Structure 1
Amino acid sequence: METSLREHIEAVMGRKILSANPVSGGDISLAFKIDLEGEPLFCKYHKGAQGFTMLQAEKTGLEAISATGCIKTPRVLHLGKLKISACLLMEYVERGHPSEKNMAHFGEQLARLHGTKQPLFGWDTDNFIGSLPQSNASKQTWPEFYTTERLGPQLRMAFDKGLLSRDEVPGENLMEARLRGLCSETRPSLIHGDLWGGNYLISTEDEAYLIDPSVSYSHPGMDLAMSRLFGGFSPAFYSGYESAASDLVPEQDEIELYQLYYLLVHLNLFGVSYAASVKRILRRFF
């Protein structure tokens, strides 16, 4: 851990750091488990100009989810700006071993989170999906929001990077028109927004926690789509979700349509290995 970060944490928390050990924190941030005179903390650390903005968006998302009372998130303790970096301090949650009962309850809790509604799709501010910017301008309908705030920006980015050709990028008018007939109707739901297997944990106290959110008011099928993209969660999770869901759970075709967004994100972050999956879904639906 860099001296400036150590000094900053000790100053704002008023205690000495006894140890700081690197832990897995994803591909974007450095992450540490800190022993602060007997109290374990989790620290995310971003270098660079947009580090503070990214961590601020994460803090906002964690607090918005927590405020619903539907499911836990790690308690945020401090967001700090250093000279050319930023840090986010949270309570440290010890990861346990999920049981089928835990996962079913997690599914029920996610369904209740999705029951948090508002009139418009979007979010108060733009945020991030991974390290990529995510636009959240308010829209009245889901097809318009999914077209203009999700698929459109990622498709343009992929084209600009030479990952998709002009012929492979459908126009927004065509996409929105097609989506009107493909998407199930729903009121805007509060979603995690990036719900893969690394962005939740079951604690040693058998409680589910959501981490690293990319929140918005969107179609609840987006969280289900991401959860199924790389092998899926346990069957108990989906059974629990369906037992508590207030909206109809999307069929597989619609789930695949929403996976397109996350595959585009992976294409833009990690390159051509995701191109074939993106092109297949684009050909199928547009």
Structure 2
Amino acid sequence: MKMKDIFQKALQSIGDDSTLLNVKPVSGGDINEAYLLRTEKQQYFMKFRKNAPKHFFKLEKIGLESIKNTNTIAVPTVFKREENDHFGYLLMEWIEGDRTDKTGELLGRNLALMHQCTGPGFGYSKDTYIGNLLQPNDFYNNWIDYYRECRLVPQIQRAYKNNYLSLQIRKKCERLLERLEEWIPPKSKASLLHGDLWGGNWLTGKNGIPYLIDPSILYGDHEFEIAFTELFGGFPTEFYKAYNEVMPLSLEYGERKLLYQLYYLFVHLNLFGTTYLESVTRIVHKYI
């Protein structure tokens, strides 16, 4: 099926039978094609992928709707999801706007309100994706156990299998896994987390309203999320001030921040290669 036919069929399925005026490829990340579709009625955003992994877009749709249902922070509306043996896509609301002097504050406050929404345990009921990597999930009563078994262990094993880790560093990682309770609280709140919140996964809409995109949701320690926001930048100072006013970070946050960032650095190591090995090694050496 030609791409134009896919676009038109998707639009017709949601009741937009108007003329498709323009299709423009846009930036959409490393693994999906992305398009701005403009009809006589409105504009849409489509994420498209050939041979998408099973439930890849279904999981993203569930994540967006879970965040939306908290009534705390904006996400794009999903109009249509399609997944078959040949391709998959999400057809969504097009988000566009300019930041105002209140955007960073709103992002921080609204994310903190989202983090106050809690789940039945630590983890998630379905396996999810971060980039192309499948993340195993289950629910745990203990945050440390979840972070160890469903986050760090799979990434460490993958990195070793890919020959990124020496045997010496692998053994240090194993000792670190045994000592997580020295830095991480076992009984924090099981907050709803976006799960992949770097600077490229939030947008500004009309009137400066911030929107979250591309979630990989889980329930976990809210400081795990904040640690990732500090890893690659992209969040204004006002964001952290507003967040702390609603949901203050603990006095021990600084002690565990790098340990939380370690997971995302392992993800980047496994996705993009040895550029991230030095950062991984430095953190492991800091704790062990």
The two structures have a TM-score, normalised by structure 2, of: 0.92
3-state SS, counterpart of residue 148 of structure 1: helix
1:103 pairs with 2:104: yes
CA contact (8 A) 1:143 1:176 kept: no
- RMSD over aligned CA atoms reads 1.9
2:33 to 30, 33, 44: 30
Q: Distance in 1 between matches of 2:65 and 2:118?
A: 16
- Residue in structure 1 matching 2:46, options 36, 40, 43: 43
Q: Is residue 268 from structure 1 mapped to residue 270 from structure 2 by the alignment?
A: yes
User: Does the aligned pair in 1 maintain the 2:57–2:81 contact within 8 Å?
Assistant: yes
Instruction: Describe the shift of the 1:176–1:273 C-alpha distance in structure 2 as closer, same or farther (beyond 3 A).
Output: closer
Distance 1:233 1:249 in 2: 21
Asked whether the 8 Å contact 1:144–1:176 carries over to 2, the reply is no
Tell me the equivalent position of 1:18.
Answer: 21
Greater CA deviation, 5-14 or 116-125? Answer: 5-14
Equivalent of 2:60 in 52, 55, 58: 58
Residues 62-101 of structure 1 deviation map (CA, whole Å, 9 limit, x = unaligned): 00000000101001100012441011011111132242x2
- Tell me: CA distance 1:35–1:157, structure 2 relative to 1, closer, same or farther (3 Å): same
Contact 1:122 1:138 in 2 (8 A): yes
- Bigger CA drift: 106-115 or 249-258? 249-258
1:117-151 per-position Cα deviation (integer Å, ceiling 9, x unaligned): 12311111011011111111111111111111001
In structure 2, relative to structure 1, the CA distance for the partners of 1:11 and 1:204 (3 Å cut) is closer
Q: Alpha carbons of 1:170 and 1:186: their partners in 2 closer, same or farther (altered >3 Å)?
A: farther
Structure 2: unaligned runs, 5 residues or longer: none
Partner residue of 1:244? 246
Q: Report the CA distance between 1:103 and its aligned residue.
A: 0.6
Check if 1:75 corresponds to 2:51.
Answer: no
- For the residues of structure 1 that align with 2:86 and 2:195, how far apart are their CA atoms? 28
Which deviates further from its counterpart, 3-12 or 228-237?
3-12
How many residue pairs match? The answer is: 284
Aligned-residue identity in percent: 36
How big is the shift at 1:255? Answer: 1.2
- TM-score with structure 1 setting the length: 0.93
1:284 maps to amino acid: K
Q: Distance in 1 between matches of 2:251 and 2:243?
A: 9
State the shift of 1:4 in Å.
Answer: 4.2
* Contact persistence 1:197–1:233 (CA under 8 A): yes
- Do the aligned residues in 1 keep the contact of 2:155 with 2:266 (CA within 8 Å)? yes
Q: CA deviation at 1:170?
A: 4.0
Q: Check 1:222–1:74 CA distance in 2 against 1; reply closer, same or farther (3 A cut).
A: same
Contact 1:120 / 1:140 at 8 angstroms: preserved in 2? Answer: yes
Aligned counterpart for 2:283 among listed residues 276, 281, 284:
281
Letter in 2 for 1:46: R
Structure 1 residues 98, 258: closer, same or farther in 2, change over 3 A? farther
